[in-house]
Every structure is written in C-alpha cells, then in structure tokens.
Amino acid sequence: MKYFLTGILLSAILTVIGLSVWGMNMAVNFTGGIGLLLLILSMIILGATVSGDRMRANFASESMEERHRRTTVSMRLFLMGLPNLVVSGCLFYYFS
C-alpha cells in the first residue's frame, strides 16, 4: 500500500509540474513515461521478458530468498508505475 501511495504522489507531482511548466501534452508524457519505465523495469527484474529455457535456468539456480526479493522489488515497481499509467490515460482521455 505504501508503494501504491508513493506512485499516486509521484503522478500528482509530475502532473502539476507538467501542467504548470509545459502544458497538458507534457503532463501526459511525463506521467505515462514514468509509468512505462517503472512497468518495464518491473518486467525485466521479474524475468518476464526471457524465454522459457532461461526462466527455468534462473529458477533452478537462484535461492528462495533471492526469488522472494526479486518478486518483491518487481511488485513494488509495478505498484508505483500503475497510478502513473492510470493518471496519464485519464489526462489523455479527458483533456486531449
């Protein structure tokens, strides 16, 4: 919950800065860009972008603690990026 609220705060700050300095299009670009960046980082850390053979090799070679830490970091990044994508989509839909 803490990371989701951090994502909401981040999207609010980026929206206010984007609107006050550059306008609506840049606010959509900032929030959407940060949301996509966090989502892509989450996918890379989780290992969702590799082939099945590589996933099996990674699963066999890592310990339970490493797997838990990797999954936790990935979930935190996803929870921070999700509000940014939602705010970007709402701004784009309602104001563009």
In a domain, 28, yes or no: yes
What is the per-residue pLDDT for 55?
87
Say if residues 75 and 43 touch (Cβ distance below 8 Å).
Answer: no
The residue type found at 92 is F
Helix (H) or strand (E) holding 94: helix 64-95
Does the structure show a pLDDT above 90 at 95? Answer: no
In this structure, the number of other CB atoms found within 10 A of the CB of residue 32 comes to 19
Residue 62 domain-assigned (yes or no)? yes
Residue 96 lies in a domain: no
Q: How many folded domains does the chain comprise?
A: 1
Domain presence at residue 25? yes
Segment 19-41 shows an average pLDDT of: 93
Range of the domain at 27: 2-91
Please give the pLDDT value at position 64: 93
Considering the domain boundaries, does residue 67 fall inside one?
yes
36-71 pLDDT, tens digit each:
999 999 999 998 888 889 888 888 899 999 999 999
Instruction: Tell me how far apart the alpha carbons of residues 85 and 91 are, in angstroms, rounded to a whole number.
Output: 10
Query: Residue 38 is which amino acid?
Result: L
In the chain, what percentage of residues exceed pLDDT 90? 73
